[in-house]
Amino acid sequence: MEIVALVLGGLLIAVGFVGCVAPVLPGPPLAYVGLLVARFVAPESVGWTWALILLAVVVVAQLLDYVLPIFGAKKFGATSYGVWGSVIGMLVGIPFIPPIGMAIGTFAGAAVGEMIAGKSESEALRAGLGTFIATMATIVLKLVVVAVVAGFYVAVVWNYAAT
């Protein structure tokens, strides 16, 4: 049963990494649940203090995942057309080489949305760039959070193997 918990935890963390670039999967929360599942095997390896700190980090990362791209888009002059365009572009881009298609779709969707809103080409490209930068920043943030959670998972496995 312990091995099953460790494997399930590892699988959830692996899916958490995928969820950092796939918008339909909540990467950091999945990884955190994976850590909690594995933690039942060796609870002494990750105390409740660290578990709660990681929970807070995961919650903040998830909130920033929704807020940061909108903030970045607005900072670079995007209107709601650009924001919605970026979301639509990201969804359309997912099937085409998932991480790259998603990134290009986000940029192109924001730019097209701004052009529909009547902005000039340079303004639309600027808004698209801002949306792209903010989206990439959230992906990197989520990857770092999941990597930290994975590090704690490794500690759990290490402690279990040592016993």
pLDDT tens across 52-74, in order? 999 999 999 999 988 887 788 88
**Mean pLDDT of all residues in 22-39:** 92
Rounded distance between C-alpha atoms, residue 99 and residue 115, angstroms: 24
pLDDT recorded at residue 54: 96
pLDDT recorded at residue 119: 92
- pLDDT confidence band for 36 (50 / 70 / 90): very high
- pLDDT confidence band for 80 (50 / 70 / 90): confident
Rounded distance between C-alpha atoms, residue 29 and residue 113, angstroms: 31
pLDDT recorded at residue 83: 85
- Looking at every residue in the chain, the average pLDDT score rounds to 89
Residue (of 14, 53, 56, 61) closest to 34 by Cα position:
14
List of long-range contacts for 119-125, beta carbons under 8 Å, 24+ apart: 119/77, 119/79, 123/77, 124/82
Its pTM stands at 0.84
Both tokens of residue 69? Answer: 């791209």
Domain spans, the chain: 2-162
pLDDT tens across 110-148, in order? 999 999 999 999 999 998 898 888 888 999 999 999 999
- pLDDT confidence band for 7 (50 / 70 / 90): very high
**Mean pLDDT of all residues in 13-31:** 91
